[in-house]
Chains A and B, each alone.
Chain A
Amino acid sequence: MTVTAAAGGPPDTREAAIVVRDLSKTFGDFVAVDHLSFEVTPGRITGFLGPNGAGKTTTLRMLLGLVRPSGGTGLIDGVTYAELPRPLETVGAALEATNFHPGRSGRDHLRVLAATHGIPDSRVDELLALVGIPAAARKRAGGYSMGMRQRLGLAAALLGDPHVLILDEPANGLDPEGIRWLRGFLRHLASEGKTILISSHLLTEVEQTVDDVVIIANGQLVRQGTIDELHGETTALVRTSNSRGLIDALRAAGLEAGDEPAQGPGAVRVVTGDLVRVGDIALGAGVPVHELRVLRTDLERLYFQLTESPENRNRNLTDGALPAGPPTGAPPPPSPGPGSDAPEGSDR
């Protein structure tokens, strides 16, 4: 069940940077996190996804030693957070964008944190310049915009030059320009070999940024793998007036093909990205082609299907009654390959 089993990616010989094993947390009789296990591969950006209330923040807070697990462990570099001798130099975390005293300047906020590890003020100023708020950080944090708070949070996470970053919803409240900046910034950090775990409730927000995904719903693992695995194999859509003839011809050529009623009348789905070949086969068979294009998986739709299937429906939105038979303790096994359960849907 490791993300390392990535098709395409080089086999990783290093140990996972973050290991979550059987982690659980109950608040009263509410199960926030339910026997969750996953690993985060070093040097990659992993998206930690799930709807609001899925248990993402609780999981991250357990990993960071802020919340006491009811069961299981979360390890970073093989030890719990509290066992790290100089935690800020191993792990940088940005949790909520509201974690500032409104009367203290952003720079002083960082200086307070820096003091705990004997980090000099010059490093604070260096980071403020890196996240692009050197002047504003001398004003009191109460007046900061959401974007500035997120940037200040990132600067705080980077203070000790950690090699693992844990970011809880860093894109929350950012405008499109801010999200673009964040994407570039995270890519830059990843290129330095940092391991990044970034949570989000919106897949589209991180889709272009992450290498791997861990999807949870109702505190349980729903799926994990590389983003490419989630996309599935590339498929093509062909529209024709003779779908039977076309399917036969494609199958005769050794391609997997079938009707795709979801795409309207006469739509045929072929598992290949080679549009030229599909066109040639159709021509050879004398079948008219009205439309021919690559059909990409709509990840967002897949995400909703994964997180809103009956047993994963958001418990916070139901009338308190949990669905009858969620497979407790046994999260659905992730299907690594381009599974038949990965629904190909609308075009994009």
Chain B
Amino acid sequence: MSNLIRSELRKYFTTRMWWGMALAMFLVGALFAAFTGYFTLYGEMPVGEAMIKVSDAIPELTLVRMIYSGGIQFAYMLALVIGVLSMGQEFRHKTISNTFLAGPRRHQVIFAKVASLVVVLVVNAVAHILGALVGGGILLATAGRSLLPDVGGLGQTFALMALILVVWGLIGLGLGVLISNQVAALFVGIAFALIVEPLVGFALTFFEGWDVLAKFFPSQATTATLSLYSGVDPGLAEAMGGGGDQLTWWGGALTLLAYAAVMTLIGLVLTRRKDIA
């Protein structure tokens, strides 16, 4: 089993794309943190009649947290891509035959893939958070703010960001098994997260009682996990795009883990039965 995991890890670290992916994670972290930093530190938002300075209306921890996790939406899309590709590449280049010849007990291969993907995603999460610290840190420093106002609280945020990336990667892995054409799998995954989910969420608001479901959708649960708007005036939160009823951070995290578990299970069952022609 540990041999299979080592083999899976070698797959990642012997192609350039994975290094490029980590670099992309870093840059996304830096750019979005800087952008969010600029917006929250210097921007103004209309609340009711008045224009208020965003940085005055948000508690310090929430503000810094918002800045450092500014790129999380883009980052978890990348994590989804990593997950899809870690399976899709095997089908695309037909290396899956060799993989199953070396590991004919396929459930072991899937477990090894899950384990190695977690490692790779943690590496990517570290790259992303480092990027965010650099990009967000520069903006905070120039505004004369503390970089780490609450180390414990931010530590929790970083851990949850890593968890979010891992979970979205595992969702991608399941998707990659479910749809063996990696282009189709990527399209479905990204289209669902960016288009279908918001649309369905919006549609649900028209049905009494059903709208509570929306907060369990993966993107909504992700936002909830980070408690991005805690302590923020509801009106302002809504103006910033984060309004509505949200799960608690642990409720969001558990919801995401449930998605990952279901997708992995689907992947496991399908892989065991699949003909590799």
* Interface residues of A, Cβ cutoff 8 Å to B: 58, 61, 64-68, 81-82, 84, 87-88, 93, 95-96, 98-105, 108-109, 111-113, 115-118, 156
Contacts and interface: CB of A to CB of B under 8 A. Distances in A.
Nearest to A95: B97
B95 A100 contact: yes
B104 A61 contact: no
15 contacts: A66-B100, A81-B104, A95-B97, A96-B97, A99-B94, A99-B95, A100-B95, A101-B95, A104-B11, A112-B7, A113-B98, A115-B6, A115-B10, A116-B102, A156-B98
Given A66-B101, A116-B103, A101 B15 contact: yes
Contacts of A61: 97, 275-277
A98 B91 CA distance: 12
Nearest to A67: B275
B82 to A, nearest CB: 15
B17 interface: yes
A66 B276 contact: yes
Interface residues of B, number: 26
A105 B94 CA distance: 16
A135 to B, nearest CB: 18
Contacts of B142: none
Contacts of B273: 68
Contacts, number: 82
Contact of B94 (A67, A87, A98): A98
Contacts of A111: 10, 14
B10 A67 contact: no
Nearest to A57: B277
B14 A105 contact: yes
B102 A101 contact: no
A96 to B, nearest CB: 6
A84 B93 CA distance: 26
Interface pairs A-B: 8 shortest CB-CB? A115-B7, A108-B14, A116-B102, A66-B276, A82-B104, A116-B7, A103-B15, A115-B6
B257 interface: no
Of B93, B103, B273, most A-chain CB atoms within 10 Å = B93
A112 B10 contact: yes
A68 B276 CA distance: 9
Contacts of A105: 14
Contacts of A99: 93-95, 97-98
B101 A101 contact: no
Contacts of B93: 98-102
A66 B275 contact: yes
Contacts of A104: 11, 14-15
Given A68-B273, A103-B15, A113-B98, A87 B104 contact: yes
Contacts of B3: 115-118
Given A64-B101, A102-B93, A115-B7, 15 more contacts: A65-B104, A66-B277, A67-B275, A67-B277, A84-B104, A88-B101, A93-B101, A99-B93, A104-B14, A108-B14, A111-B10, A112-B10, A113-B7, A113-B102, A116-B3
A81 B97 CA distance: 13
Contacts of A87: 101-102, 104
A96 B277 CA distance: 11
B134 interface: no
A117 B104 contact: no
Contacts of A101: 11, 15, 89, 93, 95
B4 interface: yes
A42 to B, nearest CB: 21
Contact of B100 (A58, A65, A109, A117): A65
A251 B218 CA distance: 90
Contacts of A67: 275-277
A103 B14 CA distance: 8
Nearest to B16: A103
B125 to A, nearest CB: 24
B120 to A, nearest CB: 14
A243 B89 CA distance: 69
A100 B14 CA distance: 12
Contacts of B98: 99, 113, 156
Contacts of A68: 273, 275
Contacts of B16: 103
Contacts of A108: 10, 14
A159 to B, nearest CB: 9
A13 B246 CA distance: 73
A104 B19 CA distance: 13
Contacts of A109: 95
A66 B94 CA distance: 12
Nearest to B92: A101
Contacts of B89: 101
Given A67-B276, A87-B104, A118-B3, A112 B97 contact: no
A64 B96 CA distance: 13
Of B7, B16, B89, B105, most A-chain CB atoms within 10 Å = B7
Contacts of A58: 277
A101 B98 CA distance: 11
A109 B15 CA distance: 10
A96 B7 contact: no
A111 B103 CA distance: 15
B7 to A, nearest CB: 4
Contacts of A82: 104-105
A141 to B, nearest CB: 9
